[in-house]
Structure 1
Amino acid sequence: MLIEEKLLLSYGAEIEDLKTADIIFNEGDTPKAFYQIKKGRIKLNHYNEEGKELILGVLHKGLSVCELLLFIDKKYPVNAIAIEPTTIVTLSKGKFMQLLDENPDISRDINSFLSERLYFKYIMLQNNTSLHPDVRIRGALEYHKSFSDNQAKFSFEVPFTRRELAAITGLRTETVVRVIKKLEQENYLKIIDRKIYV
């Protein structure tokens, strides 16, 4: 949990339950609140000129949603959509800034979290420019595993379908299926009941 729920509630945060496909914000909206996931998953996506979806991230319990945009005067460059029943804690931008001013230790934690997220985002972007599909897929899997407390081999259950992995890496679904099988043969990952573990 990035910020303890009790602290957020003490500053006036509200808890909101979302259904699958509910939109938290749209690309082009002005950031007005801090969002933290209590349970469920949220995808950050964008549609290119041809209407093809590109998934830029999938966030899960304990993570915040595009909080970095609360510190700059820019509009959201992505959509945020619940991909399963999800509960979020929402705190207005003004109250969030007050919380940070009055709790410098939380502010430091957020700086550290943002720095780490940005670091892994750079690594993922480097991998996504590769012409080799296996490099792209490994990069995406390692990026998402980086948020897990358990880094042991095969400890992380990948929360994506093959189709979602294709949208994350910009590859075709058929290519992802083929590469996943190859990576399993190389003992990089395991498949148990159609779920991928790295």
Structure 2
Amino acid sequence: MNFQKLIDKGLKLKSYPKDSVIYEPGMQPRYVYFIKLGEVRMVTVSDEGKEFIQGVFKTGQYFGEPALLTDRPYLAFTITNKDSQIIAVNKEDFFALIKNEPDFSTDLIRTLSNRLFYKSMMLEELASEKAEHRLLTIINYLLNDIALGENLKVTRQELADMTGLRVETVIRGTKILAEKGLIKIIKGKIVKV
């Protein structure tokens, strides 16, 4: 996304410090949020306070569009993982982007399709009782987004939050998966090979 185009239209770039809440469940959607710099996680929180990460959005990505497109309240929290710079695009400007920018429209379809695939995959995995299988599925999914030889840049806690497992189970599970040759760990990091 060309952020300068958004800024030229008069849209404001806002800075959010780490751990800022952008929106919470139940709020009515007013914007789609474009990340110029930073990272945001989308989470649901259980009654016990445990976070389940539904997605992580990074520099160059956007979030909040499903609620805006369907005119339904947000279902999750979005919280900055690090200091971030974000442009909030209102409904009128967002629909103008869809209408007037064919490349953006194609990207939006691809983005929504990838998110739908991820949600379907995770629902299937959460129905599975085998922790190793859940863990291997999310690791393989995340490895698709990185180059050969790169480390997977998620923490054990984030893997736990994405799979609904405990951190201890993630630690044991990754060791077992590495011993079975299903993943490669170098210096404590999962690496794409």
Query: By the TM > 0.5 criterion, same fold?
Result: yes
> Structure 1 regions of 5+ residues with no counterpart?
none
Choose from 124, 127, 133 the match for 2:125.
127
Native 8 Å contact 1:13 1:92 kept in 2: no
Query: Residue type matched to 2:132 in 1?
Result: D
For residue 21 of structure 2, the aligned residue among 8, 15, 23 is 23
Counterpart secondary structure, 2:62: coil
Cα distance change on mapping 1:10 and 1:149 into 2, 3 Å = farther
1:94 pairs with 2:92? yes
For 1:33-87, what per-residue CA distance to the aligned partner results, in whole angstroms no more than 9, with x for missing partners? 1112222221111112333221111222222113222211211100000111222
Report if the CA contact (8 A) 2:31-2:64 is conserved. Answer: no
Runs of 5+ unmatched residues, structure 2: none
How much does 1:145 deviate?
3.5
1:39 matched residue in structure 2:
37
Q: Does 1:7 align with 2:5?
A: yes
2 CA distance for matches of 1:25 and 1:133? 31
Give the aligned CA root-mean-square deviation in angstroms. Answer: 2.0
Percent identity of equivalent pairs: 31
CA distance in 2, matches of 1:47, 1:140: 20
Q: Secondary structure at the match of 2:35?
A: strand
CA distance in 2 between partners of 1:165 and 1:138 (Å)? 10
Aligned AA (2:13): I
Pairs aligned (count): 192
TM-score (norm 2): 0.88
Question: How far 1:134 sits from its partner (Å)?
Answer: 1.3
Q: Does residue 113 of the first structure (1) align with residue 111 of the second (2)?
A: yes
Q: Secondary structure in 1 aligned to 2:63?
A: coil
Could you tell me which amino acid in structure 1 is paired with residue 35 of structure 2? I
Counterpart amino acid of 1:110?
Answer: L
Distance 1:13 1:195, change over 3 A: farther
1:104 alignment partner AA: P
TM-score, normalised relative to structure 1: 0.86
Residue 53 (structure 1) aligned with residue 51 (structure 2): yes
Question: How far is 1:193 from its partner?
Answer: 4.3
Name the aligned partner's letter for residue 164 of structure 2.
Answer: G
State which of 162, 172, 179 in structure 1 corresponds to 2:166.
172
SS in structure 2 of the partner of residue 115 of structure 1:
helix
Greater mean alpha carbon deviation, residues 87-96 or residues 167-176: 87-96
Match of 1:137 in 2: 135
CA distance in 1, matches of 2:85, 2:114: 24
More deviation in 74-83 or 98-107?
A: 98-107
Supply the AA of the counterpart residue of 2:170: V
In 2 relative to 1, CA 5–145 (structure 1 residues): closer, same or farther, beyond 3 Å?
farther
3-state DSSP of counterpart to 1:16: strand
